[in-house]
Amino acid sequence: MTAWICQNCGHIYDEAEGDPDSGISPGTRFEDLPADWICPDCMAGRDMYALQENA
């Protein structure tokens, strides 16, 4: 499992945790997130995320 970091605000999407508040189950890979999923903290789109290098 890996983590992705929002380049806009620093929110971390950890694949192991998912994003339950947005209906994303733990274990969901970043690539499998719905196309309209957005950063829960700053509302940036998925394209603003980058793989967290030290995750």
Q: Please report, as ranges, the residues that interact with another protein according to CB under 8 A.
A: 5, 7-11, 21, 40-44, 48, 50, 53
Closest CA to 3 of 23, 19, 34: 19
Beta carbon nearer to another protein, 8 or 30:
8
Beta carbon nearer to another protein, 5 or 33:
5
| CB 5, CB 12: distance < 8 Å | yes
Beta carbon nearer to another protein, 1 or 50:
50
Give me the least distance between CB of 37 and another protein, in Å please.
15
User: Nearest 5°: phi and psi at 31?
Assistant: -65, -20
Q: Which helix (H) or strand (E) holds 39?
A: none
